[in-house]
Copies of this chain bind each other. A is one copy, B any other.
Amino acid sequence: MIIKRLAHVPSTDMAGHGDISKQIVIGPDDESKEIVLRYFKVAPGGSSPYHDHDFPHLVKVEIGEGAVIDPEGNEHPVGPGDYVYVPNNEIRCFKNTHTGRESLEFICIVPGRGEG
């Protein structure tokens, strides 16, 4: 069993991805090959890439104000405590809509093949 706090997990800047940082909180380095739990921070004005994958995403928003952009381009507001399920192959992105300086932060869980 492994117990961790976010503050102790290395963070990676995702260059070219709109001021996003990623932390792999539980993943292959912990021998968790089947499911990977990541933590993203998106700077104000930034967003995750608008694309799809052949795997699902399970998201929980932790901090901030944001929107999920759906396949039709519509924005769905999300905030702390919202859970989002994005099925395989559905295009979407997560955008920080805060007008101030607050990050949008969320947990994003994917199958092992989604991280690597």
Contacts and interface: CB of A to CB of B under 8 A. Distances in A.
Contact of A1 (B5, B37, B55, B85): B85
Q: How large is the interface on A (under 10, 10 to 19, 20 to 34, 35 or more residues)?
A: 35 or more
A82 B4 contact: yes
Contacts of A37: 58, 60, 83, 109
A81 interface: yes
A45 interface: no
Interface in A1-39: 1-6, 25-26, 30-32, 34-35, 37
Nearest to A90: B1
A92 interface: yes
A43 interface: no
Contact of A3 (B3, B35, B76): B76
Contacts of A83: 3-6, 25-26, 37
7 contacts: A1-B90, A1-B92, A6-B83, A26-B58, A34-B55, A34-B56, A37-B60
